[in-house]
Amino acid sequence: MNIQDLTKLYDFSGKTFVVTGGTGVLGGELACHLLDLGANVVIFDRSLETCGGLGEYTHSSGWRAKAVGGDVLNRESLLCAAEAIKEEYGPVYGLVNAAGGNKAAATTSADLSFFDLSEDAQRSVLDLNLLGTMLPCQIFGKQLAERGEGVILNYSSMNAYRPLTNIPAYAATKAGITNFTSWLATHMAMNYSGKIRVNAIAPGFFLGEQNRYLLTDKETGELTARGRKIIDHTPMGRFGMPEDLIGTSLWLLSPASAFVTGITVPVDGGFSAYSGV
Same domain, 106 and 76: yes
pLDDT at 190: 98
CA-nearest of 60, 61, 62, 31 to 44 is: 31
Q: How many Cβ atoms sit within 10 Å of the Cβ of residue 109?
A: 8
Region 71-91 average pLDDT: 95
- C-alpha 268/C-alpha 94 separation (Å) is 24
pLDDT at 25: 85
Same domain, 219 and 135: no
Same domain, 71 and 142: yes
Is 276 inside any structural domain? no
CA-nearest of 147, 132, 55, 138 to 93 is: 147
Same domain, 102 and 225: no
Same domain, 88 and 179: yes
Same domain, 215 and 142: no
What letters, b where the CB count within 10 A reaches 16 and e where it falls short, cover 65-86?
bbbbbbbbbbeebbebbbebbe
> What is the residue-wise DSSP string for 209-255?
TTTHHHHB-TTT--B-HHHHHHHHT-TT-S-B-GGGGHHHHHHHHSG
Is 99 inside any structural domain? yes
Same domain, 70 and 43: yes
pLDDT at 271: 92
pLDDT surpassing 90 at residue 221:
no
Is 226 inside any structural domain? yes
Catalytic residue list: 170
Half-sphere exposure of 200 (CA within 13 A, CB side): 28
Domain limits at 70?
Answer: 12-204+242-266
Domain CATH for 259: 3.40.50.720
Domain total in the chain: 2
Which range is most confident: 18-22, 60-64, 160-164? 18-22
